[in-house]
């Protein structure tokens, strides 16, 4: 990967990139209130399961599919991937989380880069929202950022955001937050490899407790996060 591609990828996945990721907890806020996540020892397996069986894996597969469709200039495939991605969110709040971040990502890219040509072409036929991983996959392909590195950076950002939410909610210390991120490195690597080798036909999810926490968060009495 050349320096420009690396610079772009680091910019897109930076916490300072204005997509509002810090406002979402992916159901962790309710999991903390319900006593399911109360320590570092609870948090690491909770996020590991999201990576392996939930949004981590599905986002990775969708991102990879969008990347390859963009490389092949296949707008029909991109529309199908986008429709599947929008339909795949298991709860209203997770749908909000991924579509709002996708919308913000597309808006910022459109204002700072002239290379996001596929997004413009897709917008002529698709007027619905783009979920975040699909938007990232399209933009990365248009900018020549390698897929493996894009997946790793995307999943690292996903993990970091969930850990950041837990640091504020449990609460955990900043050092414990970094311990959690470090403990999940191998899982991110496995999910990245899996996404590279897996087709949309194998898309699936099995994180029922995470989905329940996400659905329950909608009626939680006191909330700091939007999901």
- The model's pLDDT over 3-15, given as tens digits with 9 standing for 90+, comes to 999 999 999 999 9
- Rg of the chain, C-alpha, whole Å: 17
Is residue 38 very low, low, confident or very high in pLDDT (cuts 50, 70, 90)?
very high
Mean of the per-residue pLDDT values for the chain?
96
On the question of pLDDT at 115 being above 90, the answer is: no
pTM above 0.95?
yes
DSSP-derived secondary structure letter, 130: -
State the pLDDT at residue 176: 97
Among 76, 79, 129, 80, residue whose Cα is nearest residue 105: 129
Distance CA 215, CA 62 (A): 23
User: What integer pLDDT is reported at residue 114 of this predicted model?
Assistant: 81
Rounded CA-CA distance 153/185 in Å is 11
User: What 8-state DSSP symbol labels residue 21?
Assistant: G
CB atoms under 10 Å from CB of 218, counted, come to 13
pLDDT band at 126 (very low <50, low <70, confident <90, very high): confident
Count Cβ atoms below 10 Å from residue 14 Cβ, excluding itself.
Answer: 11
| 53-62, 120-129, 172-181, 204-213, range with the lowest pLDDT | 120-129
Contact criterion met (CB below 8 Å) for 210 and 27: yes
Is the confidence at residue 197, as pLDDT, over 90? yes
- What does the alpha-carbon distance between residue 122 and residue 142 come to, in Å, rounded to a whole number? 13
Q: Which residues contact 146 (CB under 8 A, 6 or more apart)?
A: 1, 5
Asked if 132 and 102 touch (Cβ cutoff 8 Å), the reply is yes
* Percent of the chain whose predicted confidence (pLDDT) is above 90: 94
């Amino acid at each position: 990967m050349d320096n420009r591609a690396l610079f772009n990828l680091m910019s897109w996945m930076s916490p300072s990139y204005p997509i509002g990721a810090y406002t979402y907890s992916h159901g962790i806020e309710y999991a903390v209130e319900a006593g399911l996540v109360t320590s570092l020892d609870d948090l690491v397996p909770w996020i590991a399961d999201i990576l392996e069986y939930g949004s981590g894996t599905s986002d990775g597969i969708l991102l990879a599919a969008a990347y390859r469709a963009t490389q092949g200039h296949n707008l029909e495939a991109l529309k199908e991937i986008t429709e599947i991605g929008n339909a795949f969110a298991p709860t209203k709040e997770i749908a909000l989380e991924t579509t709002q971040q996708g919308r913000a990502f597309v808006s910022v890219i459109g204002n700072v880069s002239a290379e996001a040509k596929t997004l413009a072409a897709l917008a002529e036929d698709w007027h619905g929202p783009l979920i975040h991983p699909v938007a990232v996959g399209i933009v990365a392909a248009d900018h020549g950022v390698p897929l493996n590195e894009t997946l790793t950076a995307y999943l690292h950002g996903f993990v970091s955001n969930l850990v950041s939410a837990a640091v504020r909610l449990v609460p955990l210390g900043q050092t414990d937050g970094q311990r959690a991120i470090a403990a999940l490195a191998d899982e991110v690597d496995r999910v990245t490899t899996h996404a590279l080798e897996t087709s949309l036909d194998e898309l699936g999810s099995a994180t029922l407790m995470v989905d329940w926490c996400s659905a329950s968060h909608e009626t939680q009495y006191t909330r700091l996060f939007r999901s």
